[in-house]
A and B are shown apart, each in its own frame.
Chain A
């Protein structure tokens, strides 16, 4: 064995390298305060290892980036752990960087002859921030997409070169495939290569000048190995424990939500995302920008931050004077306090903002919903997962309803998305439309002219209301039983998925009710047509009432002769007048009918 190592040593000189690495003199012996540099190297190693494995599963394009990350996170064994470690190590690393930098400043370790190494360190800080920024976009989720857009738009306000720079970074006039390929190349290639080069130099210069020993020395000098290495290893383990804690937090505290890093809904340029915020360590910059009114952003986004960086850069020169060092330390603490204050401000403002809370809740709902849809039997189509939400009635229905229908209608006393509205409804409440309960309410003398049904419309005084309030109110018990059958039959016309079993069970009642609808006693066909063309009708067609086709046709044009004709109240012809496209109308119809994908339904 020894002969083999000797042979190897003669050819590579590895023993000298190991000795050089391990037998560095530590004046005053090993101390815990010297561990920060090593923890940062450890973090870098974690990021390189986990990053490399993530690389093997990641696909940078606007139709596959989110999808591949979804697959890593939810389908691949241990994917959530791998991604979680990578994500939270990035966070922890930013904290460690600041600690490292603060220690260097406080101990005066930036002073001659270590100026250049201080600058290398600052370079590394900027590179790591660059890695954080580029990495945030790669999952191509709503969060990363909108937050990064802000960052690249800020880049565009740099005088002269801004627009060109922005175009180069995002690979075109707008976000797309090439934004991802470029960000990915920066994140996994260019920036890591720069980091490696600077780290090697940084450590080389550190060894050249030795550690900045903290006086008074408590012990005799020691080697780096094993005492300091042990300290460093324990510190690294603590860092790892912190990262794992962050990854496993939802499980440890039973707070719900997925383990590891978040994945919001797929990026959609047509869908607002008010919950967009940068990663927490950039929040202070985000907050800082709020102080600059239109046209002066450049001060907050570029000039002042660049100036601050310049002052930090000049610390080794300022620090030559005794007062200069104090200035540097004071400045560092003030900056840190400023950053902390701005971060606190940003967090507090968001916490107090009810609109932000709703936005976060919506974002969470979309993120969960798209996961359900991706796991459905039809899975993710090749056009990408963004289409899953765009075509999902449960996601789009409430939004479309709130925007287009809720000015008059209600859905369960709100606008469909859960917001209560102050104004009184001017048209019916459509929750449960065409269901037995809904129809029973319509034919209830006590409720027909309530705001839930015709109360807000001009039909409040109409024939239907009069019929229900006078005739139905005077119905005998036998007639009331017949009316119930009519309700059952009419509701079956809608063929609601939620009532499928009921309708099948009551097939006989449905058949009876269908016949009753056409009888004179029930008087329905005096105004409505039912499975038999009748040109004289003045009220909406009851044939297939509430079915998908009926509803789509009604929303498209309620003033069609088949529905209200000229007697239509204020409802716009959403399809005929091209207020909404056909797809949107279908989504509203499906949502009103309660028809969307649910696992196990």
Chain B
């Protein structure tokens, strides 16, 4: 029995030790075996942890968002929810809101669509009719009605993200909904 000793008064005990070379070999082995044993659970965990990097974002198909009649002719934008199928880890949902868009009519058969996310940090921008533009409540980025940066002092690195629009059957507005990386000058899909 080593006998009771407190941590502070502990000294390296004076016990005869076997030869240094033999000890070195054992030390290396002990460390190596210890690392191998510890690594297996850690690696299996890291694999699972890194799983999201392995997954590709699914490209969305265009979805029906609204009808042309619901947009005013003067080009004032209106906000619509985008209802689409959505996969959230294990859940697959056929029709749920996946985001929102501003739609504005440009002409008889032409519509412009913007993702409501501010390209600066991803806040939800508001359309303010009085200012004739979009305003981000988080860091005061402002955008004109056509989505371009309105105020050069805006922190947003680019204008609102325009989305592909298609008019089908004369009256239906189909939008290819996509999110883009915030904080970048270029539009890069997430």
Contact = CB atoms under 8 A, between A and B. Distances in A.
Contacts of A54: 45, 48
Contact of B30 (A57, A68, A233): A233
A240 interface: yes
Interface in B32-82: 33-34, 36-38, 40-51, 54
Contact of B48 (A24, A53, A374): A53
B95 to A, nearest CB: 12
Interface in B1-57: 1-5, 7, 10, 12-13, 15-18, 23, 26-27, 29-30, 33-34, 36-38, 40-51, 54
A400 B36 CA distance: 53
Nearest to B14: A25
B92 interface: yes
Given A77-B51, A85-B41, A233-B33, A226 B13 contact: no
B106 to A, nearest CB: 37
B138 interface: no
A82 B4 contact: no
A25 B13 CA distance: 7
A57 B48 contact: yes
Given A46-B41, A208-B4, A72 B48 contact: yes
A221 B90 contact: no
B41 A50 contact: yes
A53 B91 contact: no
B89 interface: yes
Nearest to A70: B90
B37 A42 contact: yes
B90 A67 contact: yes
A76 interface: yes
B98 to A, nearest CB: 14
Contact of A77 (B17, B29, B41, B54): B54
B90 A71 contact: yes
Nearest to A223: B15
Contacts of B44: 50, 53, 78, 81-82, 85
Contacts of A71: 89-90
Contacts of B42: 49
A240 B48 contact: no
A23 B41 contact: no
A64 B89 CA distance: 11
A89 B45 CA distance: 14
Contacts of A57: 48
A82 B45 CA distance: 6
A52 B10 contact: no
Nearest to A69: B90
Contact of B1 (A50, A210, A229, A378): A210
Interface in A147-186: none
Contacts of B23: 226
The listed residue with most A CB atoms (<10 A of its CB), out of B2, B43, B46, is: B2
Contacts of A385: 90
Contact of B93 (A53, A230, A382): A382
Given A53-B45, A81-B47, A213-B1, A20 B36 contact: no
A76 B34 contact: no
Contacts of A81: 44, 47
B87 interface: yes
Contacts of B51: 76-79
Interface of B: 1-5, 7, 10, 12-13, 15-18, 23, 26-27, 29-30, 33-34, 36-38, 40-51, 54, 87, 89-94
**List of 4 A-B pairs having minimum Cβ-Cβ separation, nearest first:** A379-B92, A78-B47, A53-B45, A210-B2
Interface of A: 16, 19-20, 23-25, 27, 42, 45-46, 49-50, 52-54, 56-57, 64, 67-68, 70-72, 75-79, 81-82, 85, 89, 207-213, 220-223, 225-227, 229-230, 233-234, 236-237, 240, 244, 374, 377-382, 385
